[in-house]
Amino acid sequence: MKKIIIILVTFSVLSACSDSFTELAPISNRNEADFFNTVDDFIASLNSSYAGLQDDGVYGRAYWTMFEMRSDNTDQGPDATGLARQFTEINAFTEDPLNEQIDAGWSGSYRVIANCNVILSRIEPTEIDAGLKNQITGEALFLRSLMYYHLAVAFGNIPLQLTPFIPGDELVQVDASTVYAQLVSDLEIAESNLPISYPVSNIGRATKGAAATLLAKVLLTIGQDSDAETVLRRIISDYNYELVPNYADLWGAANENNSESIFEVQFISGGIGQGSAFTNDFSPSSDLQTGQGFGRNRPTATLENAYELGDLRFEPSMGTEWINVDDEVVVQNYVRKYESDPPTENDSDINFVVFRYADVLLMLAEALGESPESYGLINQVRNRAGLDPIDAGTPGTFEEKLLDERQVELAFENHRWPDLRRFGVVVEKLIEAEADVISESDIRNLYFIPQRELDINPDFIQNDN
């Protein structure tokens, strides 16, 4: 199933994308009027937006750096040389506006946004079938919203560009609340326009469930819990998702796009430039996969200890390797969710799961607040993990118990940093996990805007919180 959608993406990269195609400037330099005339033109351009999610500046690397390694879930480990230095700085809050990973996250996200803006600006006047026009619009709105959500969580006040950028125009920085309000509007349209599912030939495209899940996440972020509840109940009742019975069966190329999966970034190996690097990035040694293992995104001891005894999620999520360093045996944790044996280094078949149904159940519990129903939702997830149910009598506040459950259920899936921010416990959790490398005075809720952007746009205000 996955190979078909990726073939489409490959076609889009070859036929619809150039170095300037997904920059902030529009594609007018490429005779835009001659390109956006047929359904195939729009599909090719849309597919290049999906392909943009694979980029190292988005899900390929920068997002797990910014949303997992920044949190208490993972760290870089002792290596602080070369590329690892950028990760180490992000983990310890010592990066500056010149950090290349942060710059890549900003640029990669805005490239996808720019491509979607061109699609949205050109689709309405065409004579394309109304149903297909709505679907293309919905997909573009979802992809653009997905990027803006990550940018707003990471940077706070950002440019909200909704039309193709024309060189010479001024980019205007807006506050995050304005971005979130736009996302609510756009995602409501996207959910309405998109199908519940696709034929096998189009597995991997955005669906109603994908748009609704992101919408619910945005609504929780801005404190609109009642509205989020409505959306989440709709996902549960109408969109045909279910928990995979065995947690281990969520992971690995053979299990992708399953009944629990709501949206995945599709990768495929084979030397065509669309394989993922997760296996090599996360594995700690060359004994576990083809090519070098870099041991990045290393699970912290705090995360390891967060798993209860007998939790069936532990073994599929993380492993431990004993390595020899300077004649001393060192224990090192590593991420297992993205294990594979790629044919060549950094060319794995492993997808990145962006949203899945377990997150929906836990978000509905969050939207409801403490109640028998919310504990029932949490216990659906715990039951699959082989754990006893919890209730109001279980030690800890409801928020603590829910956040703990989200941490172990969704580890290494880029939810932890947004969760810490949304629950208001960034400082508390990071000092608890990494006080040896993180100074409380350095901890910030927001990343610095890349220096390159500040140089180009002198009216931008640097984020300092």
54 pLDDT above the threshold of 50: yes
Q: What is the pLDDT of residues 19-43, one digit of tens each?
A: 322 233 333 334 555 678 788 889 9
Q: What is the dihedral of CA 6, 10, 13, 16, to 10 degrees?
A: -90
- Nearest-angstrom CA–CA distance, 423 and 333: 27
How much is the pLDDT for 329? 67
Q: What is the dihedral of CA 228, 229, 230, 235, to 10 degrees?
A: 90
The two three-digit tokens of residue 27, written as one number: 């594609």
- Nearest-angstrom CA–CA distance, 267 and 362: 27
How much is the pLDDT for 331? 76
How much is the pLDDT for 324? 63
* Rg of the chain over all Cα atoms, to the nearest angstrom: 21
- The backbone torsions φ and ψ at residue 263, rounded to the nearest 5 degrees and listed phi first, read -155, 135
How much is the pLDDT for 32? 56
262 close to 360: Cβ distance less than 8 angstroms: yes
Q: How confident is the model at residue 250 (pLDDT cuts 50, 70, 90)?
A: very high
As a whole number, mean pLDDT of residues 394-405 equals: 98
How much is the pLDDT for 29? 39
As a whole number, mean pLDDT of residues 275-295 equals: 83
Q: What is the pLDDT of residues 167-199, one digit of tens each?
A: 878 899 999 999 999 999 999 999 999 999 999
464 pLDDT above the threshold of 80: no
Q: What is the pLDDT of residues 215-242, one digit of tens each?
A: 999 999 999 999 999 999 999 999 999 9
Q: Where do we find the tokens 């990269």?
A: 13
How much is the pLDDT for 17? 33
How much is the pLDDT for 27? 35
How much is the pLDDT for 38? 84
The helix/strand/coil state of 41 is helix
As a whole number, mean pLDDT of residues 297-302 equals: 94
How much is the pLDDT for 6? 39
How much is the pLDDT for 453? 93
285 versus 339: the higher-pLDDT residue is 339
How much is the pLDDT for 355? 98
What does the chain come to in residues? 465
Q: How many CB atoms lie within 10 A of CB 462?
A: 12
DSSP letter (8 states) at residue 395: S
Average pLDDT, the chain: 89
**Of 121-135, 150-164, 177-191, 207-221, which gets the smallest average pLDDT?**
121-135
309 pLDDT above the threshold of 80: yes
Q: What is the pLDDT of residues 61-115, one digit of tens each?
A: 999 999 999 999 999 876 677 778 899 999 999 999 999 999 999 999 999 999 9
332 pLDDT above the threshold of 90: no
275 close to 348: Cβ distance less than 8 angstroms: yes
